[in-house]
Structure 1
Amino acid sequence: MQRTSSPSQQPLLDETDMSIITNPTKSWDQLRKEARSLESEIESKLAALSKVGQSTGLDDIGQESETDELLKKLQLVITGMGDFIDKPSSTPTNPSMIHLLSRHKDILYDYTKEFRRVKGSIKAARDKANLMNQVQDEIRSFNTGGNRDNADYYLTERNRVESTHRMTDMILEQAYATRQDVSRQGRIMHGVNQRVGGVVSRIPGINNLISRINTRRKRDTLIMAGVVSTCSILIILYWLRT
């Protein structure tokens, strides 16, 4: 019977690694147990590598090598399982064995894909950490070399702030002085009004005189208004007759 191959299976080993011959005396059950054991161990390694990739990605070299070796061993075991199915033996080959072999190939493909993804994440985390270290080194170098410039800058800014404070104090003093002048003038006007009221109250005839003057002005205004109105009416009538 020909060995079936999964369309998603990608070879993990090169020709030299594929030339390694597995133990031909192993039974199907032994190969299956070994494959399951390797798959469980690979899953644990991938989980550990995922945590490393989410952190700094700096302490992962040994785990990457171990995971890569486990994947190679799993591929060798799967190759041995395929050889066991292909070779004639007293044990008949059934469809479940072929299905199980295909399942192990799919698992190997998934683990290989996940391993490459985790390696990429670890590399990205490592590059990010290196970049951060470079930035911190540059900042420290800048701070060390630019302390004098920073001191001059801060001194200049301090002088500007003090100058602004002095100008603000001068403006406030002028505002207070203006307020005092306005208050003093208000008190003076109030005193003048009180004096005028006192003078008027002391001379009773002044109120009567002022009232008469106002009445006469109103009368003169009414007379002038009547004269102007009469003249206007006469002029209009003259225009209408002519």
Structure 2
Amino acid sequence: MGGSSYDVLRKQARSLENEIDLKLVAFSKIGAGSGGGGSGGLGGVDTSPLLGEHVFDSLSEEIEQMLEKLSSLNESMSDLPSSGAAALHTLQRHREILQGYRQEFNKICANHTMRIEREELLRGSGLATSSGSPSISGLNRREMYLKESGHLNSASHLVNDQINIAIETRDHLHAQRQAFKRLQTRFNDISNRFPLISSASISKSDVIH
């Protein structure tokens, strides 16, 4: 029964991973402002910022829910009795895939936020012409992009650090829970033996008297 349940959960995890992978590809294109006119049903995103933001937010929420579901599937698999080194290796691989998806998702969100802020900065500073193209010198433009790139890299590193801390904390808590389960099992075994020991002691006392 345990093996059958594990196989079902593993198939569900693999299917969900494939779906998330495809969603992240589309999510990355929309976040970069390159929805690709006429492709994948995402045409018109470039020429309609409001529509693009709506699609981005909607897809962001959908991917977050899928990541949470994948995390739950991984937890369910880890709660099943271990069936050998191969199963443990497979579970670890699923966790690494989830971690990679979370990092990619947060990176896309950070890139999107930085792009929107940069565009708003250009508009607010009067550095964009009526056609939406920057009208500043090449030198100033390069300096601005270098600064934005530095901010983006810093934000990406911070997001990755937070994800790694959360994953390590979760794994530590899971290990503690498993240790407590084993300890509880040992306590139960000992308590089940105590009545026999107690009965033997009482019988010996009666014989002496």
- What is the TM-score of this pair, normalised by structure 2? 0.47
Q: Which has the larger radius of gyration?
A: 1
Higher relative contact order by CA 8 Å / sep ≥ 6: 1 or 2? 1
